[in-house]
Amino acid sequence: MKINQGFLNLKDRYLFSLVAQKVGEYRAQNPGKEVISLGIGDVTLPLAPVVVEAMQKAVAEMGRAETFRGYGEEQGYAFLRQAVCSYYARKGVELDASEVFIGDGAKSDLGNILDIFAQENTVLIQDPVYPAYVAANIMAGRRIHFLDGSVHNSFLPLPHRDLRADIVYLCSPNNPTGAVYTKEQLKIWVNWALAHDAVILFDSAYEAFIQDGELPTSIYQIDGAKRCAIEFCSLSKTAGFTGVRCGYTVVPHELIQGGVSLNELWLRRQSTKFNGVSYVTQRGAEAAFTPEGLEQNRTSILYYLENARLIADALTELGIWFTGGSNAPYIWLQCPKDLSSWDFFTFLLDSCGIVGTPGVGFGRNGEGFFRFTAFASREDVRRALDRLRAMPL
Amino acid sequence: MKINQGFLNLKDRYLFSLVAQKVGEYRAQNPGKEVISLGIGDVTLPLAPVVVEAMQKAVAEMGRAETFRGYGEEQGYAFLRQAVCSYYARKGVELDASEVFIGDGAKSDLGNILDIFAQENTVLIQDPVYPAYVAANIMAGRRIHFLDGSVHNSFLPLPHRDLRADIVYLCSPNNPTGAVYTKEQLKIWVNWALAHDAVILFDSAYEAFIQDGELPTSIYQIDGAKRCAIEFCSLSKTAGFTGVRCGYTVVPHELIQGGVSLNELWLRRQSTKFNGVSYVTQRGAEAAFTPEGLEQNRTSILYYLENARLIADALTELGIWFTGGSNAPYIWLQCPKDLSSWDFFTFLLDSCGIVGTPGVGFGRNGEGFFRFTAFASREDVRRALDRLRAMPL
């Protein structure tokens, strides 16, 4: 039996393990000193009350023969797919419930969607980027071209005229940079994809953080996107579901390649290699989309965004260049004093007891940059920023 | 962008949709007549009380900041992996928790495991078989060889000396046939795999139904299996989790191919394309493995097995050949009067109002055979069997 050689081409993935290891060493050497993390990539606020209530009710139903539910449709219950359609309708996007696929989170669907594409497609991925996109394609043996993000393009690269690729990943609001594409910029991408028969894989995991009414909250707010884009959304950060696992992927019926409906391919893939999301989780997700649920989750999102604003203000005071932080829970800053990412990591930890994520862990163009996240508690953020303002630079 | 051409090679998958369609037509034409299904592939009894209690507690924890949990390890919480190891220890199999991967069900893991294998491996699949194994490999563009199951080998085929393949699927107890390999028979398969550097993908989803103490309840009860087999298990039928979604896949550290640890490959795959199972689900699964949970679930399993025994007895009375039904929730019978699978389906439906699954839907060797399942209510089973005994053959 031959293993998939693609796995041998994966580089060391242990960015967050390496961070954890260095933090462990620091703690061991500095037992009295408190470490504050501004690098948490996870939510910290609990589930909304209406979500908890809905999940409790669903668990109770599963305990009684008359209301017990076995297998659901692999693409998710109609009640939830319809709730997602209503959520889109409020954004001015009309979808049919059959275009919505409930999954266990964007990470799974972003990885598994690759099943429907031939191996010989060229993939375009930005640098810096969420590492899983790269790893999944290396595993699949695909050729990857990187598109440079930099201060010069505000980490919002656009296609140049000669750019060619079959599949492009866009993540907006972006992890790790927090940068958000405007409608005009996404239109350029959609036009490029339509002109080149390319497919856009649009990671929309952070759309709920967008506050600026001018910014797009779905790729489908762009004309023509239904013919070239698959959108991946998640309740992880939107509703605190990182430990509950629920997301939704939209594959419009208009998305046809080589005369084949990608919606039918994804349905076939999920029918064969997936068995649906927990009924309890789906009832929780349904509650998250009710007016009360949206309001309760909005409170959490605004809490994180206020953290981001405080971090952004501190960086502004310190004269440190950054992007993100106003429509996203991430802030991407340029390391001061031309420090490398890891040198700044070590400096921050040693001099301030603050943990962040070295930008170089997200790609070569992340060298010299650093990521803070807005998920810590308000108290931790305030104390970290006090230390940051006093850091010996 | 080029789609994966493998998808175009998939044949019509709509076995259960076709069954549902024909049942719908029958009901429309026979409004007064009650249809009883002996074809349900889903559990019908509710979750065990200790499982419900554990899930309620976990949901409540998720609603409070102090006990809220975000991302868990992709391979599952240690508390659950350890519970699985204890379950195996009781079977005489010693595993390390790092060899256990919690997933959202055998269907997902059986499909996704293919990521770690090169495309050019030959796959050996039995006929008849659970259709998803075939579809997943056709999607991946692999060459499939079929191994014939028949009355002559009691639908328990063994490798002949010249048999070559890189990956072989074994499912025991079997869906659709209910047949169960003995220890001696599995030893033949393990020896064959070791001799040919092949990997066995052992689907153990129905192990909890085995009542005969001589029959193996894990491939790892066979010497040498840790060096050539991956075992896939599920709480779906064992604990009624078809709508909750939880399973576990065992990849022993001794399973090395081409100098590469398959355990490390699977860990890498799951770390990249999966984000773990719901915390609520994992606490429910943990409860299912406690002595109380095992006892409560045993009650449900014995209920289904009693249904199977009643069905088996009725077939014996009618002189119909069958296998399965005593250590599995499936009964695989030879259609009487040399009827084809679909002709018998129609005959059963028209003359008895009973629904089952045509064997030909599970492969060419299923032609002339039929599957009954044991998941209906006791009352439905009794009434169906009364009708069966009276059928005009």
User: Could you read off the pLDDT of B341-383 as tens digits, one per residue?
Assistant: 999 999 999 999 999 999 999 999 999 999 999 999 999 999 9
- Hey, are the CB atoms on B52 and A45 less than 8 Å from each other? no
Which residues touch A38 (CB under 8 Å, ≥6 apart)?
A311, A354, A355, A356, A372, A373, A376, A381, A384
- Hey, are the CB atoms on B278 and A244 less than 8 Å from each other? yes
- Hey, are the CB atoms on A2 and B118 less than 8 Å from each other? yes
Nearest to B356 by CA among B22, B19, B43: B19
Per the CB < 8 A criterion, the answer to whether A42 and A375 are in contact is: yes
In A241-250, which positions are buried (b, 16+ CB within 10 angstroms) versus exposed (e)? bbbbbbbbbb
B5-47+293-389 falls under which CATH superfamily? Answer: Aspartate Aminotransferase, domain 1 (3.90.1150.10)
Which residues touch B192 (CB under 8 Å, ≥6 apart)?
B159, B163, B198
Indicate the range of A319-333, B27-41, B311-325 predicted with least confidence: B27-41
Nearest to B177 by CA among B315, B15, B16, B322: B322
- Hey, are the CB atoms on B108 and A262 less than 8 Å from each other? no
Probe site for chain A from B266, B272, B283, B303 (most A CB atoms < 10 A): B272
- Hey, are the CB atoms on A243 and B277 less than 8 Å from each other? no
Question: Partners of A213 in the beta sheet?
Answer: none
Q: Name the DSSP class of B173.
A: S
- Helices and strands (H and E) in chain B: how many: 11, 15
pLDDT, average across residues B169-180: 98
pLDDT at B247: 98
* Pairwise CA distance, residues A218 & A232, whole Å: 10
CA dihedral B27, B33, B34, B39 (to 10 degrees): -50
Q: Which residues of A touch B278 (CB under 8 A)?
A: 243-245, 278, 280-281
Q: Please tell me which residue of chain A has the smallest CA distance to B109.
A: A273
Residue at token pair 């998958």: B13
Query: In percent, how much of chain A has pLDDT > 90?
Result: 95
pLDDT, average across residues A285-301: 98
> Does pLDDT of A324 surpass 70?
yes
Is B72 within 8 Å of chain A by CB?
yes
pLDDT, average across residues A335-350: 96
> Does pLDDT of A86 surpass 90?
yes
- Hey, are the CB atoms on B274 and A10 less than 8 Å from each other? no
Per the CB < 8 A criterion, the answer to whether B72 and A105 are in contact is: no
> Which ipTM did the prediction report?
0.96
SS (HEC) of B288-340: HCCHHHHHHHHHHHHHHHHHHHHHHHHHHHCCCCEEECCCCCEEEEECHHHCC
Is B333 within 8 Å of chain A by CB?
no
Per the CB < 8 A criterion, the answer to whether B311 and B354 are in contact is: no
pLDDT at A20: 87
Backbone CA torsion sign across B79, B81, B87, B88: negative
Average pLDDT of chain B, as a whole number = 96
Sheet holding B330-334, edge to edge: B322-324, B330-334, B369-373, B357-358
> Does pLDDT of A392 surpass 90?
no
pLDDT at B40: 87
Radius of gyration for chain A, computed over Cα atoms and rounded to the nearest angstrom: 21
Residues of B (127-156) whose Cβ lies below 8 Å from A: 132, 135-136, 139
Q: Which residues of B touch A121 (CB under 8 A)?
A: 1-2
Q: Please tell me which residue of chain B has the smallest CA distance to A168.
A: B1
Q: What residue ranges in chain B does DSSP mark as E strands?
A: 36-37, 100-103, 122-127, 143-148, 167-171, 199-203, 229-234, 247-250, 256-257, 260-261, 322-324, 330-334, 354-355, 357-358, 369-373
Backbone CA torsion sign across A278, A284, A288, A290: positive
Q: Which residues of A touch B121 (CB under 8 A)?
A: 1-2
Is A222 within 8 Å of chain B by CB?
no
* Pairwise CA distance, residues B289 & B264, whole Å: 26
Backbone CA torsion sign across A370, A374, A380, A383: positive
Average pLDDT of chain A, as a whole number = 96
pLDDT at B21: 87
- Hey, are the CB atoms on B243 and A120 less than 8 Å from each other? no
User: Could you read off the pLDDT of B235-278 as tens digits, one per residue?
Assistant: 999 999 999 999 999 999 999 999 999 999 999 999 999 999 99
What is the nearest CA distance from A212 to chain B, expressed in angstroms?
Answer: 28
pLDDT at A393: 77
Q: Which residues of B touch A10 (CB under 8 A)?
A: 268
CATH number, domain B49-290: 3.40.640.10
> Does pLDDT of B149 surpass 80?
yes
Could you state, in order of their start, the residue ranges of all structural domains in chain A? 5-47+293-389, 49-290
> Does pLDDT of A13 surpass 70?
no
Q: Roughly what angle, to the nearest 10 degrees, separates helices B78-89 and B279-288?
A: 20
Is A245 within 8 Å of chain B by CB?
yes
Q: Please tell me which residue of chain B has the smallest CA distance to A58.
A: B56
Q: Name the DSSP class of B144.
A: E
- Hey, are the CB atoms on B278 and A245 less than 8 Å from each other? yes
Q: Please tell me which residue of chain B has the smallest CA distance to A164.
A: B1
pLDDT, average across residues B108-127: 97
Q: What is the DSSP string of B331-378?
A: EEEEPGGG--HHHHHHHHHHHH-EE-EEGGGG-GGGTTEEEEES-S-H
Q: Please tell me which residue of chain A has the smallest CA distance to B67.
A: A46
pLDDT at B11: 81
* Pairwise CA distance, residues B121 & B144, whole Å: 9
CA A199 vs. chain centroid, Å, equals 18
pLDDT, average across residues B171-191: 98
The secondary structure element, H or E, covering residue B380 is helix B378-389
User: Could you read off the pLDDT of A59-80 as tens digits, one per residue?
Assistant: 999 999 999 999 999 999 999 9
For residue B161, name the pLDDT band (cuts at 50, 70, 90): confident
Which residues touch B148 (CB under 8 Å, ≥6 apart)?
B126, B127, B157, B365
Q: Roughly what angle, to the nearest 10 degrees, separates helices A15-29 and A341-352?
A: 30
pLDDT at A220: 98
- Hey, are the CB atoms on A71 and B107 less than 8 Å from each other? no
Q: Which residue from B69, B110, B257 is facing A3, i.e. has the nearest CB? A: B257
pLDDT at B392: 85
- Hey, are the CB atoms on A70 and B43 less than 8 Å from each other? yes
Tokens of B98: 């790092």
The predicted model scores a pTM of: 0.96
For residue B312, name the pLDDT band (cuts at 50, 70, 90): very high
For residue B17, name the pLDDT band (cuts at 50, 70, 90): confident
Q: Which residues of B touch A278 (CB under 8 A)?
A: 243-245, 278, 280-281
Q: Which residues of B touch A63 (CB under 8 A)?
A: 46-47, 49, 51-52
- Hey, are the CB atoms on A112 and B116 less than 8 Å from each other? no
pLDDT, average across residues B300-328: 97
SS (HEC) of chain A: CCECHHHHHCCCCCHHHHHHHHHHHHHHHCCCCCCEECCCCCCCCCCCHHHHHHHHHHHHHHCCCCCCCCCCCCCCCHHHHHHHHHHHHCCCCCCCHHHEEEECCHHHHHHHHHHHECCCCEEEEEECCCHHHHHHHHHCCCEEEEEECCCCCCCCCCCCCCCCCCEEEEECCCCCCCCCCCHHHHHHHHHHHHHCCCEEEEECCCHHHCCCCCCCCCHHHCCCHHHCEEEEEECCCCCCCCCCCCEEEECCCCCEECCEEHHHHHHHHHHHHCCCCCHHHHHHHHHHCCHHHHHHHHHHHHHHHHHHHHHHHHHHHCCCCEEECCCCCEEEEECHHHCCHHHHHHHHHHHHCEECEEHHHHCHHHCCEEEEECCCCHHHHHHHHHHHHCCCC
Residue A63 CB: number of other CB atoms within 10 A? 18
For residue A113, name the pLDDT band (cuts at 50, 70, 90): very high
Q: Which residue from A115, A118, A132 is facing B5, i.e. has the nearest CB? A: A118
* Pairwise CA distance, residues A156 & A180, whole Å: 7
Probe site for chain B from A245, A251, A277, A377 (most B CB atoms < 10 A): A245
Per the CB < 8 A criterion, the answer to whether A266 and A60 are in contact is: no
Q: What are phi and psi of A249, to 5 degrees?
A: -120, 130
For residue A363, name the pLDDT band (cuts at 50, 70, 90): very high
* Pairwise CA distance, residues A86 & A92, whole Å: 10
**Amino acid making up residue B300:** S
pLDDT at B13: 60
Q: What are phi and psi of A93, to 5 degrees?
A: -115, 125
